[in-house]
């Protein structure tokens, strides 16, 4: 069977790293567009290059927008991922280059060169995608699928704005542009991530059985793992990995619902919240396939393969 062809927008980030390891193991990667999000753009670009070095790959890395479209963010996620986004391990300077092309422009170029071929996997705040859409609103016509990791579909978010999830909350205007601009996309939200956490002991077995990729991930995961354990997040929570599983293997989804999803831009307590029209009261067409459940064994197998533990 042909390997999926992926174009990834990401802000590495510990769980981004696992998702990219999965993509390299099970798909072909046309490029990595890099956004600010978990930490600042200088760190996320460096981390993407470090991953490319680890994999010995020739994946192009495209630096993106260093800030949200309109307002500066109220918080990043360094307290989860470490100041550098990779657990403050202190890796040497990467060798892999940064392409001399902005991420939004690369996204448009690659989809023009390969119309209908690329699944776009959005693991970061949606700033780069929104910029690309504003430059060329026909972008959705050239993308095979769009898979978004973001949102909290019943308001159980993970930011200071309680109903909001981090990626959407970091740049709500960008999410609004993307959700309005794409007539359909798969949405893998934060709440689904929590439902599909892995048992710690099981995950440790995979790390012990893996190769250099598992060693690398075990090092960078320490800070995030300690944070989760101290904040009542049980098991190994891997948000971007869940979205990547859906991108790699669409049949892994066992339950989903098509609904209209919008983004709250103005609420004092709810800015960045994803608002799902569960009852169809607005009369708007469904734009999101909200992923609710997926095959856990197939998800686990994709991660084991990414760590060299299969």
The pLDDT profile of the chain, 310 residues, written as one tens digit per residue, is 789 999 999 999 899 999 999 999 999 999 999 999 888 999 999 999 999 999 999 999 999 999 999 988 766 666 566 677 787 778 889 999 999 999 999 999 999 999 999 999 999 999 999 999 999 999 999 999 999 999 999 999 988 888 999 999 999 999 999 999 999 999 999 999 999 999 999 999 999 999 999 999 999 987 777 777 766 677 888 999 999 999 999 999 999 999 999 999 999 899 999 999 999 999 999 999 999 999 999 999 999 999 999 7
Number of domains in the chain: 1
Of 247, 248, 264, give the one whose Cα is nearest residue 185: 247
- Which residues form the domain of 275? 5-307
Within 10 angstroms of residue 232's Cβ, the number of other Cβ atoms is 6
Joined tokens for residue 171: 């740049």
Q: pLDDT at position 77, please?
A: 61
Report residue 136 as tokens: 């060329």
Give me the pLDDT at residue 223, please. Answer: 75
Contact yes or no for 224/286 (Cβ under 8 A): no
Q: How much is the pTM?
A: 0.95
CA distance 202 to 198: 7
| pLDDT score recorded for residue 89 | 76
For residue 76, what pLDDT is reported? Answer: 64
Residue 50 sits in a domain whose CATH number is 3.90.245.10
For residues 205, 221, 168, 152, the Cα torsion angle rounded to the nearest 10 degrees is 40
> Residue 48 — φ and ψ, nearest 5°?
-60, -45
**What pLDDT, on a 0 to 100 scale, did the predictor assign at position 227?**
72
User: What pLDDT score was predicted for residue 13?
Assistant: 86
Output the pLDDT for position 88. Answer: 76
The rounded distance, in Å, linking the Cα atoms of 60 and 49 is 9
pLDDT at 106: 98
């Amino acid at each position: 069977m042909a390997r999926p062809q992926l174009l990834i927008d990401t802000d590495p980030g510990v769980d981004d790293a696992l998702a990219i390891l999965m993509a390299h193991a099970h798909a072909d990667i046309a490029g990595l567009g890099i956004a600010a999000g978990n930490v600042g753009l200088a760190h996320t670009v460096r981390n993407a290059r470090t991953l490319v070095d680890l994999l010995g790959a020739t994946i192009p890395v495209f630096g993106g927008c260093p800030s949200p479209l309109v307002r500066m963010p109220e918080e990043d996620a360094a307290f989860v991922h470490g100041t550098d986004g990779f657990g403050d391990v202190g890796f040497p300077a990467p060798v892999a280059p940064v392409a001399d092309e902005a991420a939004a422009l690369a996204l448009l170029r690659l989809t023009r060169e390969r119309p209908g071929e690329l699944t776009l996997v959005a693991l970061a705040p949606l700033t780069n995608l929104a910029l690309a859409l504003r430059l060329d609103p026909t972008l959705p016509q050239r993308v095979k699928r769009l898979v978004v990791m973001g949102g909290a579909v019943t308001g159980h978010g993970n930011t200071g704005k309680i109903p909001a999830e981090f990626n959407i909350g970091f740049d709500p205007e960008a999410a609004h542009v993307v959700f309005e601009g794409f007539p359909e996309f798969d949405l893998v939200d934060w709440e689904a991530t929590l439902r599909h956490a892995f048992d710690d002991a099981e995950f440790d077995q995979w790390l012990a059985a893996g190769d250099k990729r598992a060693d690398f991930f075990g090092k960078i995961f320490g800070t995030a793992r300690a944070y989760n354990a101290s904040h009542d997040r049980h098991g190994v929570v891997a948000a971007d990995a869940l979205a990547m599983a859906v991108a790699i293997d669409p049949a892994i989804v066992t339950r989903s619902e098509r609904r209209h999803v919008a983004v709250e831009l103005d609420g004092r307590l709810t800015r960045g919240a994803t608002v799902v029209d569960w009852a169809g009261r607005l009369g708007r067409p469904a734009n999101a396939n909200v992923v609710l459940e997926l095959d856990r064994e197939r998800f686990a197998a994709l991660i084991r393969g990414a760590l060299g533990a299969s």
